Amino acid sequence: MKVCIIYESRRGSTERVARAMERALRERGFEARAWSAGQNPDVDDCDLVILGAPIYYERPLPGIRRFIASKNGLKGKRVAVFILCIADRFGKFGRRYTERRYLRMMTEPVEGKIIAARVFDGWIMGENKGTIEEAREWIMRVVEAFEDGRELGIEHPG
């Protein structure tokens, strides 16, 4: 199985999460590669496509949506989506807002089959080691779900 992780990052946190996922997959023998959306990688031979972006000014960085559009919405692909933000820190209302606004903005342009979505706790100063570990665990659950033909739904920090 080949897993392609496509991310958009401004200050490096989303790239660190994507690279942690890539390492976790490779450690377990999967073929995996992480690219910045700006590199416009070819995903035709990818079995599973992971898309990730941070939230800035109430929306995912625009490069990830441009990438999705440039790939015909990833039609025919199985896809998982993740975002980094801090809205979940504001309790159940923050969670609902995150799902209705931010995740929707990531999933709306995807025409492929979305099998999982995840909100990770973002950071501004200093890497969040907990987020990195959660990303490593999440990507393995996504791959297991992919192999079993299941869907994971939406997950939040904690």
CB 15 within 8 A of CB 61: no
Range of the domain at 95: 2-155
Query: Structure pTM?
Result: 0.92
More reliable by pLDDT, 98 or 18: 18
**Confidence band (pLDDT; 50, 70, 90) for 158?**
low
Please give the structure tokens belonging to residue 34: 């992480």
User: pLDDT at position 99, please?
Assistant: 77
Q: How far apart are CA 121 and CA 116, in angstroms?
A: 17
Dihedral sign computed on CA atoms, order 53, 55, 56, 58? positive
Q: How far apart are CA 71 and CA 42, in angstroms?
A: 9
Q: What is the CATH number of the domain that holds 31?
A: 3.40.50.360
pLDDT tens digits, residue range 103-135?
888 999 999 999 999 988 887 778 889 899 999
pLDDT tens digits, residue range 20-30?
999 999 999 99
* Total tally of structural domains belonging to the chain: 1
More reliable by pLDDT, 37 or 96: 37
Please give the structure tokens belonging to residue 146: 């992919």
